[in-house]
Chains A and B, each alone.
Chain A
């Protein structure tokens, strides 16, 4: 009988070993040398000082902002808004290749498909393998490199298949850091095998949906390695974008030389001379990405009420917001996500609420829905 039991030992031992290995892998790896302690200001300075480096890495995005998860297979719905929402909801993986400030390539790795954005000098190519289409645009010569960069990484650019990098999101979060916000450096964390400072940003007010934000800053290079946004009362991050692997060596130069493959449908995109980064056909995204503060000629000037984290942005009735409203009621996806409330439709996520009123105005903010309704009723 004991012999029989011995024979079953491997069948018991192997799962035990695997479970132990899985547990050990999930524990934070103990770093060799702890990073020297730094104040939030010093960490911020590190971020500010670091110049766009050469790197190649893999970014992982997860989000639980309360949007319905979209099917990953099947034909893409094509609409710019749907594609932007698709990027925001559900998990995504992207590879990023940077070579200085002038060359960049971002690959959003979809299931059996890929979306590419390649920037080489002032030439930008967008390619989607799902429908084999490419788009080309030449950036205006006047726009500085840094400007080009921020345009390409702007969340609004997500509509064209580019995920925002941690850097762009970090800059956004730090811009709103003011007396309403508590900024501190949390315990050291490990991202993509690198020791990093964890910059914690916590709103001092209860009147916002955002619980806290955290930015991991590489202890050596000052490069933001991850961005995490937590909604109030949510245990899991509402949005998380982090490197899972990172190498600071210059990627192969051939990666940035893109020519559209034979048979692809190529579309030339005219960039307006002032180069706002808002590409034609995607103006409607402004209603969906409400915190995009683009100076945009197409929209009437939005009115801002409230301060700090409780800011509510109001887009008055006009052709652009009417278009956004029509889209909100027409697009089945947004229709599914938006609920009818007295006086309009509310598009609600864990971190942002958008209210499309029946008379064509749009209210947006990281505030509870009641505040948007009050703001709408007050006018």
Chain B
């Protein structure tokens, strides 16, 4: 079973990570599975996190996803540059502003990525957290200490959270970069009609990326829980992405209005509130609270499932 999955994943990308894992886990490997809870030295957690991050960001898959995300603003900017002017009110919001100001490429690209691309990549990363290790047969090596399960769960979630930071940031910065290369950069018009300097606009762009990071944390928790349910990583990834799509579809149905404030996708488009003058922080706060609730609920579910699970692979 592990052999099959290794073969499927591609041995070239996989061989090194497995070695890194075993090296990192070896310090905790001394205590047997039934031994005392002594694997909680802070150093272990941090080294495990470092190893998790290096595995995550040395994967070709991760790089491919980040490149695909970065391609969105590039394609958009090139297409707008190559075509004639966009009439206002057509296409995604802000698209007509790109020609006036390159920094809008970042915002427009984030807007386009929010419904599908970002949840897709986060779903792949979050769905892979536990199920990926189980599928590869490396999970039991990581879980030699009893307390290791909680720590592994936390480390895995932290890894997914780091990807949530990197993903939107890549889109925003790639957008700002290609935009300033192809279009003039100048004062930026906010939704309120007020104009701010390019430096402040860059701050707002990073704030928008941070908003989307927070928005995706709840989905990561859902993905990690789904990942503890199965040994087939593809299943958990697909289920996570389906969850985000289903949540967005439910959010569009006016008949379910009572449910909307409870959907984790409810505030996803609220990042526009950061582009108002003065900044409307309400949606940022509500979004953070909602995502914290999802993290708590699905984190607790993942804990319940993972610490009671029989790890056979």
Chain A residues in the interface with B (C-beta under 8 A): 4, 7-11, 13-15, 18, 58, 69, 75-76, 95, 107, 109, 111-114, 116, 125, 127, 129-134, 245, 252, 255, 258-264
Contact = CB atoms under 8 A, between A and B. Distances in A.
Interface residues of B, number: 35
Given A14-B297, A107-B276, A262-B195, A8 B308 contact: yes
Interface string B224-253: 000000000000000000000000000000
Main secondary structure of the interface of A (DSSP, over half): mixed
Contacts of B100: 262-263
Interface in B260-297: 269, 272-273, 276-278, 280, 282, 293, 296-297
Nearest to A132: B88
A166 B211 CA distance: 32
B303 A10 contact: yes
Contact of A11 (B111, B254, B277, B303): B303
Interface in B189-228: 189, 191-195
Contacts of A7: 303-304, 307-308
B86 to A, nearest CB: 11
B158 interface: no
Contacts of B11: none
B42 interface: no
B90 interface: yes
Nearest to A127: B193
24 contacts: A4-B308, A7-B303, A7-B307, A7-B308, A10-B300, A11-B300, A11-B301, A11-B304, A14-B296, A18-B296, A18-B297, A109-B276, A129-B191, A129-B192, A129-B193, A131-B88, A252-B278, A255-B278, A258-B193, A258-B194, A259-B195, A261-B194, A261-B195, A262-B189
Contacts of B193: 114, 116, 125, 127, 129, 134, 258, 260-261, 264
Contacts of A125: 193
Given A15-B297, A131-B88, A132-B96, A116 B189 contact: no
Contacts of A258: 193-194
Nearest to A265: B88
A202 B151 CA distance: 62
B97 interface: yes
Contacts of A260: 193
